[in-house]
Amino acid sequence: MKTILIAEDDKNQLLLYEQELSREGYNIITAKDGLEAVKKVKEHNPDLIIMDITMPKMNGIEAIGKILSEHKNIPIIINTAYSSYKDDFMSWSADAYVVKSSNLKELKDKVKELI
């Protein structure tokens, strides 16, 4: 079973993603901020990471930098409400960029593609 780390500070979104992706057959680990995400990657070595950008303690872009400095082969999907971050070259290190939507099809499709 493939393991996905979801880093998301919105509790409702986190719960939705966790439930939907669990139904797809994935083992889900969650983090409420970038700092916790970095810690959980070291503990669990997930197969894929879904990362929000705007989070407390450490934002997603900074967390991606720290994660990729030690774990270069873990695919990362940036999942954010802000399409403007696509132009930020720091986000280019992610494998995919998905703008949040109530329809999770695009996110699920990217997960399947990268796992």
Is pTM beyond 0.85? Reply is yes
Handedness of CA 92, 94, 97, 100 (dihedral sign): negative
Q: What is the pLDDT of residues 46-71, one digit of tens each?
A: 999 999 988 889 888 899 989 988 88
What value does the mean pLDDT take over residues 61-82? 87
At CA 16, angle to CA 42 and CA 102, rounded to 5? 120
User: What is residue 91's predicted lDDT score, i.e. its pLDDT?
Assistant: 46
Q: Using the 8-state DSSP alphabet, how is residue 24 labeled?
A: T
